Amino acid sequence: MGRVNLLDAIFVNKEIARKEVMACDYFILMPDHYSGDGTCRCTDEDHEEMSDWGYIWRDGKWRAE
């Protein structure tokens, strides 16, 4: 019960701990939103998909408009 199984667009399994998803400010369930160590990428300016999802980069992190 402590892990969430996520499928990305090409059906490759990626598991991350539930606590890692819960640590994300926006509880994003997209596998590519988490780095290899499972941490949320809300503070990763290079995570440009956040812009595609409607977030804006401000004050050192991606934020909802």
CA distances from 22 to 2, 10, 11 (A): 11, 24, 23
Q: In this model, does residue 8 exceed pLDDT 50? A: no
pLDDT tens, position by position, 14-65: 778 889 999 999 999 888 899 988 899 999 999 999 999 999 999 999 999 8
Structure tokens at 23: 């640590």
Q: How far apart are the first and last CA of the chain?
A: 33
